Amino acid sequence: MWYVYILKCNDQTLYTGITTDLERRLEEHNTSSRGAKYTRSRRPVEIVYSSKFPHKSAAQKEEYRIKKLNKAEKLNIIKNISSNKN
């Protein structure tokens, strides 16, 4: 499985990425040099959205789609997912 995720950074910005292991990737973003350069200066980060995909190509397409959105549109995705969990 592949995951597309959105992180909320300490400065309230958002970062979008893909991974096969959400816990490991979050740990990398928060503690190691393996995290994205963007997030290293914005720690701590937290996962505010994730979605599962069976294939890397599908995850990459969704990551690309989300990265093209503005911040308000990304926050709307996050809000909708949070609303559906309740």
pLDDT of residue 20: 98
Kindly state the tokens that stand for 74: 């990304």
Rounded CA gap, 64 and 11, in Å? 23
What's the predicted TM-score (pTM) here? 0.93
Question: pLDDT (tens digit, 9 = 90+) per residue, 20-60?
Answer: 999 999 999 999 999 999 999 999 999 999 999 999 999 99
Residue 84 pLDDT > 80, yes or no?
no
Is the Cα torsion angle 20, 24, 29, 32 positive or negative in sign? negative
CATH of the domain at 53: 3.40.1440.10
Total domain count, the chain: 1
Give the structural domain span for 62.
Answer: 2-85
